[in-house]
Chains A and B, each alone.
Chain A
Amino acid sequence: MQLGLVSCHACHLLNRKPKTSAYEAAYCSRCGEELHQRKPNSLMRTWALVIAAMVFYIPANVLPMTITSALGTVQADTIMSGVIYFMQHGSWEIALVIFTASVFVPFLKFVILIYLLLSIHFKSIKRPKDRTRLYRFTEAIGRWSMLDIYVVTILVALVKLGFLADIEAGPAALYFALVVVTTMIAAESFDPRLIWDVVEEKHE
Chain B
Amino acid sequence: MSEGNFEMKHAEQAPEAVVQTKHSFSIIWVVPIIALLIGGWLAFKAMSEKGPVITITFESADGLEANKTKVKFKDVEVGKVTQIDLREDLAGVVLTIEMNPDAETYLTEKTQFWVVRARVAAGEVTGLGTLFSGAYIGCNPSMEGKKQRHFTGLEKPPVLTEDQPGQHYILTAHSLGSLDLGAPVYYRGIKVGQVVGYDFDEDAESVLIKVFINEPYNEKVRKNTRFWNASGIDMTMDATGIKLDTQSIVSIMLGGVAFDMRQHDLPGEPAEKNHKFLLYPSQESSKEDTYEIKRYYVMYFDQSVRGLSPGAPVEIKGLQVGEVVSVELQYDQEKLDFRIPVVIVLEPERLNLIVTDTGKVVEGEKKEEFLEEEKKTSDLDARARKLIEKGFRAQLKTGNLLTGQLYIDLDFYPEAPPATLEKIDGNTVFPTISTPLEQIVQRVDNILKKVEQVPFGKIGKDLQGAVAELTTTLEEIKGISGKVNEETIPKFNASLDQLQETLNGIESTLGPDSALSYNARQVTSELALAIRSMRSLLEYLDRDPQALILGKEGDKK
Q: Which residues of A contact B (CB under 8 A)?
A: 41, 44-45, 48-49, 51-53, 55-56, 58-59, 62-63, 71-73, 75, 81, 178, 182, 189
Q: Which residues of A contact B26 (CB under 8 A)?
A: 41, 44-45, 48
Given the known interface contacts A44-B26, A63-B42, A81-B67, the answer about A55 and B133 at a Cβ–Cβ threshold of 8 Å is: no
Known: A55-B35, A55-B38, A63-B42. A49 touches B133 (CB 8 A): no
Name the interface residues of B12-41: CB closer than 8 Å to any CB of A.
26, 28-29, 31-32, 34-36, 38-39
Pairwise interchain contact B32-A71, C-beta atoms closer than 8 A: no
Residue from A48, A71, A72 in contact with B31 in the complex, judged by beta carbons closer than 8 Å? A48
**B residues less than 8 Å from A62 (CB atoms):** 46
Q: Among A48, A73, A75, which residue has its beta carbon within 8 angstroms of that of B32?
A: A48
A71 and B67 alpha carbons, distance in the complex (Å): 17
Chain A positions within 8 Å of B39 at CB level: 55-56, 58-59
A58–B26 Cα distance when bound, in Å, is: 25
30 A-B residue pairings within 8 Å (CB atoms): A41-B28, A44-B26, A44-B28, A44-B29, A45-B28, A48-B26, A48-B32, A49-B28, A49-B31, A49-B32, A51-B32, A52-B32, A52-B34, A52-B36, A53-B35, A55-B35, A56-B35, A56-B38, A56-B39, A58-B39, A59-B38, A59-B39, A62-B46, A71-B132, A71-B133, A72-B129, A73-B133, A178-B35, A182-B31, A182-B35
Give A106 to B414 CA distance when docked, in angstroms. 114
Most buried by B among A49, A52, A58: A52
Which single residue of chain B is at the shortest CB-CB distance from A75? B68
Contacts of A56 in B (CB 8 A): 35, 38-39
Bound together, the chains give a CA A45 to CA B32 distance in angstroms of 10
**Segment 28-74 of B: residues with Cβ below 8 Å from A:** 28-29, 31-32, 34-36, 38-39, 42, 46, 67-68
Chain A residue numbers with a CB within 8 Å of B127 are none
Question: Chain A: interface secondary structure?
Answer: helix
Residue of A nearest to B30 (CB): A48
Does B341 reach chain A (CB closer than 8 Å)?
Answer: no
Question: Within the assembled complex, what's the spacing in Å between the Cα atoms of A58 and B41?
Answer: 12
9 closest Cβ contacts across the A-B interface?
A52-B35, A55-B35, A52-B32, A71-B132, A51-B32, A73-B133, A52-B31, A48-B28, A55-B39
User: Does more than half of chain B's interface fall in helix, strand or loop, or is it mixed?
Assistant: helix
A48 touches B29 (CB 8 A): yes
B134 contacts the other chain (CB 8 A): yes
Report A-chain residues with C-beta under 8 Å of the C-beta of B42: 59, 63
Residue numbers in A under 8 Å from B31 (CB-CB): 48-49, 52, 182
User: Is the pair B32, A55 in contact by a Cβ cutoff of 8 Å?
Assistant: yes
B216 CB, nearest partner CB in chain A, Å: 38
Q: What residues on A are CB-neighbors of B34 within 8 Å? A: 52
Kindly report which residue of chain A lies nearest to residue B136, judged by CB atoms.
Answer: A73
* A55 nearest in chain B by CB position: B35
- Chain B residues in 8 Å Cβ range of A48: 26, 28-29, 31-32
Identify B134's interface contact among A44, A51, A63, A73, CB under 8 A.
A73
Q: Give the complex CA separation of A52 and B32 in angstroms.
A: 4
Shortest beta-carbon distance from B134 to chain A in Å: 6
Tell me, rounded to whole Å, the shortest Cβ–Cβ distance linking B30 to chain A: 8
B25, closest chain A residue (CB): A44
State the CA gap A59–B38 with chains docked (Å): 9
CB distance from A94 to the nearest CB of B (A): 20
Known interface pairs A71-B132, A73-B68, A73-B134; 10 further A-B residue pairs with C-beta atoms within 8 A, sorted by A's residue number: A44-B26, A45-B26, A48-B29, A48-B31, A51-B32, A53-B35, A56-B39, A59-B42, A71-B133, A72-B129
Contacts of A81 in B (CB 8 A): 67
Shortest A122–chain B CB gap in Å is: 15
Most buried by A among B28, B38, B133, B134: B28
Chain B residue at minimal CB-CB distance from A46: B28
Residues of chain A contacted by B67 (CB below 8 angstroms): 81
Q: How far is the CA of A135 from the CA of B129 in the complex (A)?
A: 55
Contacts of A51 in B (CB 8 A): 32, 35
**Of residues 120 to 166 in B, which have CB atoms within 8 Å of A's CB atoms?**
129, 132-134
Bound: A72/B135 CA distance, A: 12
A189 CA / B39 CA spacing, docked (Å): 23
Whole-angstrom distance between the alpha carbons of A59 and B35 in the complex? 10
Q: Which residue of A lies closest to B42 (CB)?
A: A59
Give bound CA distance, A107 to B67, whole Å: 26
B residues less than 8 Å from A44 (CB atoms) = 26, 28-29
Instruction: Select from chain B the residue with minimum beta-carbon distance to A51.
Output: B32
A72:B28 contact, CB within 8 angstroms: no
A156 vs B425: C-alpha distance when bound (angstroms): 88
Chain A neighbourhood of B68, CB < 8 A = 73, 75
Q: Give A28 to B209 CA distance when docked, in angstroms.
A: 97
Residues of B within 8 A of A182 (CB): 31, 35
Q: Which single residue of chain B is at the shortest CB-CB distance from A189?
A: B28
Bound CA–CA A167/B309 (angstroms)? 75
Nearest residue (CB) in A for B77 is A74
Question: Which chain A residue shows the least CB distance to B132?
Answer: A71
- Shortest CB distance B74–A (Å): 16
A117 to B189, CA, bound (A): 86
A73 touches B132 (CB 8 A): yes
A59 partner residues in chain B, CB cutoff 8 A: 38-39, 42
- Distance in angstroms from B52 CB to nearest chain A CB is 20
Which residue on B lies nearest to A182, using beta carbons? B31
The digit string for B421-449, where 1 denotes a CB below 8 A from any CB of A, is: 00000000000000000000000000000
A50 to B42, CA, bound (A): 19
CA of A84 to CA of B212, assembled, Å: 49
> Which chain B residues numbered 317 to 373 have a C-beta less than 8 Å away from chain A?
none
Q: Which residues of B (232-266) have their CB < 8 Å from a CB of A?
A: none
B-side contacts of A49, CB under 8 Å: 28, 31-32
Q: Tell me the smallest distance from the CB of A12 to a CB of chain B, in Å.
A: 25
Interface string of B161-204 (1 = CB under 8 A from A): 00000000000000000000000000000000000000000000
- Complex formed: what's the CA distance from A101 to B129 in Å? 37
Taken residue by residue from 510 to 538, chain B's Cβ proximity to chain A (1 for < 8 Å, 0 otherwise) reads as: 00000000000000000000000000000
Bound form: Cα–Cα A62–B42 in Å: 10
Q: How far is the CB of B69 from chain A (nearest CB, A)?
A: 10
B132 proximity list for chain A (CB < 8 A): 71-73
A55 contacts B36, C-beta separation under 8 Å: yes
